[in-house]
Amino acid sequence: MELQMKVAQAVHVLNHDTESSNRVAANQWLVQFQQTEAAWEVATSILTSDHQPFPSDFEVEFFAAQILKRKIQNEGYYLQLGVKDALLNALLVAAKRLSSGPPQLLTQICLALSALILRSVEHGKPIEQLFYSLQNLRTQNDGIVAVLEMLTVLPEEIVDTQNTEISASHRNQYGQELLSHTPMVIEFLLQQSENKFQGGLQPNERNRKVLRCLLSWVRAGCFSETPEGSSPTHPLLNFVFNSLQVSSSFDLAIEVLVELVSRHEGLPQVLLCRVPFLKEMLLLPALTGGDVKVIAGLACLMSEIGQAAPSLIVEASAEARALTDALLSCVAFPCEDWDIADSTLQFWSSLASYILGPDVDGTNKKNVEGMFFSVFSALLDALLLRAQVIS
């Protein structure tokens, strides 16, 4: 209790004392404290115990979560199995206990948890143990928030290339074991996308959390674990697409769709069929109202669709023409910088290369070139107009 009180006082001095000498002294003490063996127990107690010698304090709890994350990253490999199990359970208790607090605190706890799992995967079955605990946690009050955040953070370890202390083979084993639980995660996310009022979350907040979690799993390669061809028809795709029509979830929905398009062959064709809807319902109102966020997001998504499947674009179907027309509108949109126009450059370049390359047969090449001559002429006109407006 005495050490906990000292930690709380030092954190308060570090963050709020007006005397710089006091802040320096508090920082030095806290740095030294983090190196001690006692820091494990003190930090764990701060996060898990309802009986503290000081009032609940976000700054102190956040510091405790950071201590555990750093110590796990630096010393986690060397902990005994029993200690790792106890620490795993303590972090689960902390995540549940503090799930209704500031989101940054829950994220730090989940980062500590994922770091511990990564450093335990060679011995025992920590991922299996964790998912068993998550099944129980999701049935408890406010447990959904903690489960969503844990499931968001866990796959990030797979794609984290900055952490060089973890070997590629070790990270690969972690990824394989984690992704083996994809069906359960996808089913859980689908349930959450359909349950608008549950677990203390408002619909818009819930949707953002579901999208963040889905994005994390898509980046980790989750749909490589699902049957081939099922991704384009998966019910979650409709949820993501519908989220484009909600301002608070638009940006995350764009990120998810861009990731999916770049990873799954059947998806560009599915989304190309929806481009006319996107153009009429979202892009044209955004162009009229000057909504840069929506214009930029749709330009990025439609460029990705076209770039992933140039063979569909050169067929010049109504949907393909809607896509090129929409992107021309984005390029011509008068904004202060070139970011939106730049985001479409790779699409126009890949389309031109495809038309002029060997993939278009000789008998059809002239027809395709003729059809798209006017498109590229309009692109040049739009770029010249933009240059004149800016200059």
What is the per-residue pLDDT across 155-201, written as a single tens digit (0 to 9) for each?
998 887 666 667 778 888 888 999 999 999 999 999 999 876 555 67
Q: What's the length of the chain?
A: 391
Nearest in space to 40 (alpha carbons), one of 97, 13, 78, 95: 78
3-state secondary structure of 66: helix
3-state secondary structure of 182: helix
For the cut 60, the answer to whether the pLDDT of residue 391 exceeds it is: no
CA pair distance 191, 186, nearest whole angstrom: 9
Q: Token digits for 116? A: 């511990």
- Torsion angle, alpha carbons of 34, 160, 113, 176, to 10: -140
Assess contact for 117 and 127: CB atoms under 8 A. Answer: yes
For the cut 80, the answer to whether the pLDDT of residue 389 exceeds it is: no
Average pLDDT over residues 279-303: 96
**Share above pLDDT 90 across residues of the chain, in percent, rounded to a whole number:** 62
3-state secondary structure of 265: coil
Tell me 360's DSSP state. Answer: S
**pTM higher than the cut 0.85:** yes
Task: Please give the backbone phi and psi of residue 201, each rounded to the nearest 5 degrees, phi first.
Answer: -110, 135
CB atoms within 10 A of CB 309: 21
Nearest in space to 280 (alpha carbons), one of 313, 319, 312, 309: 319
What does pLDDT average to over the chain? 89
Assess contact for 99 and 145: CB atoms under 8 A. Answer: yes
* Greater model confidence, 199 or 150: 150
CB atoms within 10 A of CB 162: 4
CA pair distance 300, 209, nearest whole angstrom: 22
Task: Please give the backbone phi and psi of residue 198, each rounded to the nearest 5 degrees, phi first.
Answer: -165, 145
CB-based contacts of 5, cutoff 8 Å, min separation 6: 53, 54
How confident is the model at residue 310, as a pLDDT?
92
Quick: pLDDT tens for 34-79: 999 999 999 999 999 877 656 668 899 999 999 999 999 999 888 8
Average pLDDT over residues 280-298: 96
Quick: pLDDT tens for 86-98: 999 999 999 999 9
Q: Token digits for 359? A: 């993939």
Q: Is the dihedral of CA 120, 121, 126, 130 positive or negative?
A: positive
How confident is the model at residue 126, as a pLDDT?
85
Q: In Å, what is the CA distance from 131 to each residue of 23, 69, 180, 182, 293?
A: 42, 20, 11, 11, 37
CA pair distance 322, 326, nearest whole angstrom: 6
Beta bridge mates, 201: 198
How confident is the model at residue 53, as a pLDDT?
59
* Greater model confidence, 165 or 230: 165
Q: Token digits for 174? A: 């972690």
How confident is the model at residue 55, as a pLDDT?
63
Q: Which segments of 261-347 are extended strands (E)?
A: none
CA pair distance 62, 110, nearest whole angstrom: 12
CA pair distance 112, 106, nearest whole angstrom: 10
How confident is the model at residue 229, as a pLDDT?
59
Quick: pLDDT tens for 302-356: 999 999 999 999 988 999 999 999 999 999 998 877 899 999 999 999 999 999 8
Query: Could you identify the residue written with the tokens 């079955």?
Result: 125
Which of 254-258, 267-271, 371-375 holds the top average pLDDT? Answer: 254-258
Q: In Å, what is the CA distance from 127 to each residue of 27, 31, 93, 167, 171?
A: 36, 31, 17, 18, 13
CA pair distance 137, 147, nearest whole angstrom: 7
Radius of gyration from C-alpha coordinates of the chain: 26
pLDDT band of residue 361 (cuts 50, 70, 90) is: confident
Nearest in space to 114 (alpha carbons), one of 220, 251, 198, 260: 220
Q: Which segments of 10-137 are extended strands (E)?
A: none
